[in-house]
Amino acid sequence: MTELGRLWLVRHAPVDGPKGVIHAPDAPVDLGDTARLDWLREALPAEAVIVASPSRRTRETAVALGFQPQLEPDFREQDFGTWTGRRHDDLARELGPAYDAFWRDAARLAPPGGESFVDQIDRVRRGLARLPGGDSVLVVHSGTIRAVLAIALGASPDAALSFVIDPLSLTQIDRLGSAGWRIAYVNRVPG
């Protein structure tokens, strides 16, 4: 990456659906936290390239922030394959030790028909390479933000999975061209 600029990474609003489910890309979003949306509108740069994953929750969050984003498929959430739409509790009961084994090595293992977090990092790296210089606002997923952090820090995928990324939080990472990256902050929320 040779372009200078800042990345403003916004995690989408919470999914409007049951807790404990691996939600599909078309899951609806809960935009009820208007105070947090107002805070983000104030915090984000006025002039920036706006990009979102193609998922419904990121697109709707971007629109609620007043943006008409470009869609970048490489910034979508990790694909959980046949586990998508399923409850974690049900999967744990059904799969037993195999489900536990996945979470012990979640960075490298892929759910059936899905992709690993390592695969997601590779995909996100391709998306980052296509961004222009200057400021970019990315309205994306927690996994996408963790993948960007892994790339920027040169961290192991396992270490990147340890970051907490809350809904409607803001992470800022500076692109320094050949000098690499600088993390300004991670998971900032108002208050």
User: The CATH number of the domain where 128 resides is what?
Assistant: 3.40.50.1240
Residue 153 lies in domain:
4-79+115-188
98 in a structural domain = no
Q: What's the pLDDT at 177?
A: 87
Tally of structural domains, the chain: 1
17 in a structural domain = yes
173 in a structural domain = yes
125 in a structural domain = yes
| pLDDT one-digit tens code per residue, 98-147 | 999 999 999 999 999 999 999 999 999 999 999 999 999 999 999 999 99
3-state helix, strand, coil split of the chain in percent (to 5) is 40, 20, 40
Between the alpha carbon of residue 170 and those of residues 8, 125, 161, the distances in Å are: 7, 20, 17
Q: How far apart are CA 64 and CA 150, in angstroms?
A: 28
Q: How far apart are CA 170 and CA 9, in angstroms?
A: 6
pLDDT band at 11 (very low <50, low <70, confident <90, very high): very high
97 in a structural domain = no
Task: Tell me the percentage of the chain whose pLDDT exceeds 90.
Answer: 95
Instruction: State the DSSP string of 72-94.
Output: -GGGSPPP-GGGTT-BHHHHHHH
